[in-house]
Amino acid sequence: MTTGRDGAAGRADPAGRLVVSARNVAKHYEMPGGVVYALRGVSLDVERGACLAILGPSGCGKSTLLHLLGGVDVPTSGSVDVLGHDTARLSDGALARLRLFHIGFVFQRFFLLPMLTAEENVLLPMMEAGVPAAERRDRARALLGRVGLAARVHHRPGQLSGGEMQRAAIARALANQPQIVLADEPTGELDEATGREIGALLHDLSREGIAVVMVTHNPELAGMADRSIRMKDGAIA
Amino acid sequence: MTALGFLASRTLRRNPVRTALVVLGLCVTGALLLDMTMLAGGLEASLGQLLGRLGFAIRVVPKGTLPFSGDAQIPDADGLAAGIVGRPGVTAAVPVVATNVYVGGGRAAFASFALGVPDGGTGVYTVLQGQDLPRGGRAEPPDGTGAAVPVVVNRNMTRLDGVRIGDEVVLSGAPVPELSGSAGSVRARVVGVADFYVDLATQRSIALRTVDLRRVRGVPPGAASLILVRVSDPARVGAVVAWTNARDPRVDALSVGRFIARAGGRLTYFNQFALILSTLSLAVSFLLITAIVTLSLGERLGEIAVLRALGMTRVRVGAVIVLEGVALSVVSLPGAFLLGLGISGNLDAILRGAPGVPESLHFFTLTAAAVTRTVALLIVTGAAGGLYPAAVASRLGIASTLHAEVQS
């Protein structure tokens, strides 16, 4: 994995190990009070199986960077390549398919759909991806079992604890067997012990070849990553 | 089930009380829509059913008129009918005199609608009790000294006036025989009770042979109010109509379709009434669906952003929202139909109680076309109601919405 502040930090990837490559990425927002510079020329490579933590104070641009890496937003300038695709050049449909099949998201507030059970939340991305019903049911059960929720598959989010909801969210992120998992403050709403369990779970994913990028305030979680970078004022410090 | 249907159905079940209230509202507006679609073509459909029961494929009337709509006569109806019955495919051409007579001699004197037909067995009415008019026979003299002429009466006359089979009555063209002028009066004997199809709710009707009725009312020989034509082969209707119109330019030969169209042309106020109320019903349904789906969307913007982040396209997210609108409409359909049929039954009874409405006609008629139109309109309204919130949902910025959700 390489990181850097400018485009020169990027490098060729003859072995095909890079899953995400950001080059001199900037993100500006036009606001009523003027232009807000959320990211200023960030470059970053993430390799297959890496576990990267992005640290920094609130407002430093780490969540914005995560959104750009996940293709939910596009940079104002620079480029973000995900699995060889420049996200700014992809149509909405193509970007959505990239997220659906290759990227899993884990959010601070879990964002499980409250009207669905844990199992249905995991099933949903597979339904969208067209996975056959029997296979998706088996896969959902297996994923929920893996995150320790085998006995809670029929519970709705309101019936789960914070840690259980985040485990279900991780199972959902893994539903379509992604190559990249992006986690935005995954332990932000959890107590210390539960946060440690979630951190270990995410770290285990990287051992299986999934690239995991975590944005966090939590130094302990960052310490579980293979590598961490620190951001400040929209740039890598 | 697809992801879209799955999400739409679960979203509607998320807040069952709210969904139930909206569905109830849509049942009411849907019921109104059904009633108005039934009303819009109801009279024409009912008229079509009635004409189908009668079985005559063509009606020949004085030009520009409708049957029983005035005193106009076809001057040489008997001759024209004889010509028509000679056309290929025509099995009967029945000249009918329609007028009013006064019936006396019983317990009371009263006015009655009278049909003059050449013979019994013409199918202009259906005998329920007793006998039909005899076939053939001669006219009785106008002074009432001959044998009583046979007549068939309707049930109203038996019910309201106590007239029975075998009773003898006097028919005249005026309330007082002395005022009848050139017309006369005849003694008549009731031989049967019949269903006259187009009777009003309390209308008395009587049928007798044409020659007798012409004499009572002073109708010129050979004249009649209309000619009813029965055709064995529906494919020949057009040719018979064309021949008849060419043969006598003073008449209109109307096929069932043209007759219904002409009658419908005189009922446009019902269609306008139905159009206005249908439009209002659709507008209320549309606003109800748009309001509730938009409100619901506002409560789950974060979830929509998550669906997008998970890999759902803008179009599919919009489709989920539109589907929610459609689902609300579809769920309301059974209730709308039940309520609509109940209301239309009551309204129909009220309208049919108005003076001058034949008992066999209905203002609200449930037809396949009315059902199809109502279902289609409600489903389209549901989809249209979901369009605005769908546009809002599909335009949501994923990152900005997720950021706002975390900040809230």
pLDDT in tens, B305-321: 999 999 999 999 999 99
- Please give the single-letter amino acid code of residue B222: G
CA distance B26 to A227: 58
Contact B246, B84 (CB under 8 A): no
Chain B nearest C-alpha distance from A120 (Å): 10
Residue B329 pLDDT exceeds 90: yes
Nearest-CA neighbor of A104 among A163, A180, A214, A190? A180
Q: Which of residues 60-89 of A touch B (CB under 8 A)?
A: 63-64, 67, 70, 72-73
**Mean pLDDT to the nearest integer, B50-62:** 84
Mean pLDDT throughout B168-181?
A: 71
A210 pLDDT more than 70: yes
Within 8 A of B13 by CB-CB distance, chain A residues are 115
Report which DSSP code applies to B219: P
Query: What is the torsion angle, in degrees rounded to the nearest 10, for the CA atoms of residue A22, residue A109, residue A234 and residue A180?
Result: -10
* pLDDT, position B42: 81
**How many other CB atoms sit within 10 Å of the CB of residue B44?**
18
Q: How many CA atoms lie within 13 A of B210 on its CB side?
A: 22
Tokens 């309201």 correspond to what residue? Answer: B160
The pLDDT score that the predictor gives to residue A9 is 38
Residues of B in contact with A182 (CB under 8 A): none
Nearest to B273 by CA among B37, B92, B108: B37
For residues B340 and B29, give the distance between their C-alpha atoms in angstroms, rounded to a whole number: 9
**Is A11 part of the contact surface with chain B (CB cutoff 8 Å)?**
no
Interface contact A129, partner B, CB < 8 A: yes
Backbone angles phi, psi at A107, to 5 degrees: -110, 160
Q: How confident is the model at residue B137 (pLDDT cuts 50, 70, 90)?
A: low
CA atoms of A60 and A108, how far apart (whole Å): 17
Please check whether residue B33 is in contact with residue B342, taking contact to mean a CB–CB distance below 8 angstroms.
no
Contact A113 B311 (CB under 8 A): no
Across the beta sheet with A51-55, the strand order is A103-106, A180-184, A211-216, A51-55, A227-232, A235-236
- Weakest-pLDDT range from A59-68, A77-86, A186-195: A186-195
Range with the lowest mean pLDDT among A79-93, A182-196, B329-343, B370-384?
A: A182-196
Instruction: Give B139's DSSP letter.
Output: P
How many contacts, defined by CB atoms under 8 Å, are there between A and B? 79
Among A176, A201, A217, smallest CA distance to A51 is for: A201
Q: Does residue B181 carry a pLDDT above 70?
A: no
Task: Supply the pLDDT for residue B178.
Answer: 58
Q: What percent of chain B stands above pLDDT 90?
A: 41
Give A-chain residues touching B316 at CB under 8 angstroms.
128
Residue that is written with structure tokens 């009813």 in the block? B228
Residue B66 burial (CB count, 10 A): 17
- Per the prediction, chain A carries an average pLDDT of 89
pLDDT at B143 over 60: no
Contact B393, B317 (CB under 8 A): yes
DSSP states of A95-117 as a string? HHHHHHHHEEEE-TT----TTS-
- Residue A164 to residues A206, B30, B135: CA-CA distances in angstroms? 21, 44, 94
Cα(B8)–Cα(B289) distance, integer angstroms:
14
B24: closest CA among B368, B284, B320? B284
Q: Provide φ and ψ at A38, rounded to 5°.
A: -80, -40
Torsion angles phi and psi, residue A173, rounded to 5: -60, -30
Q: How is residue B317 written in tokens?
A: 């997210």
Of B241, B262, B197, B344, residue with least CA distance to B44: B262
pLDDT 10s digits, B201-217: 778 899 998 888 888 88
**pLDDT digits over B4-14, tens only?**
888 998 998 88
| B317 chain-A contacts, CB cut-off 8 A | none
Residue of B nearest to A104 (CA): B310
- For B300-321, letters b (16+ CB in 10 Å) and e give bbbbbbbbbbbbbbbebbbbbb
> Of all helices (H) and strands (E), which one includes residue A197?
helix A192-207
pLDDT in tens, A122-173: 999 999 999 999 999 999 999 999 899 999 999 999 999 999 999 999 999 9
Residue A5 pLDDT > 50, yes or no?
A: no
For residue A16, pLDDT over 60 is answered with yes
Confidence band for A3, pLDDT divided at 50, 70 and 90: very low
The answer to whether residues B340 and B31 touch, using CB atoms and an 8 Å cutoff, is yes
- Look at B316 and A128 and tell me if their CB atoms are within 8 Å: yes
Is residue B360 very low, low, confident or very high in pLDDT (cuts 50, 70, 90)?
A: confident
In the three-class reduction of DSSP (H, G, I as helix; E, B as strand; rest coil), residue A190 is classed as: coil
pLDDT of B386 strictly over 60: yes
| pLDDT reported for residue B179 | 56
Instruction: Give the residue ranges of DSSP H helices in B166-236.
Output: 210-217
Q: Which two tokens stand for residue B250?
A: 């003073």
Put simply, the chain A residues between 143 and 172 with a CB less than 8 A from any chain B CB are 172
Average pLDDT, chain B: 86
How many C-alpha atoms does A19 have within 13 Å on its Cβ side?
A: 25
Euclidean distance between CA atoms B375 and B381, whole angstroms = 10
| A203 vs B: CB within 8 A | no
The CA-atom distances, in angstroms, between B35 and each of A201, B28, B31, B283 are 61, 11, 6, 16
Closest-CA residue of A relative to B403 is: A63
Cβ atoms B47, B260 nearer than 8 A: yes
Nearest to B102 by CA among B175, B14, B4, B208: B175
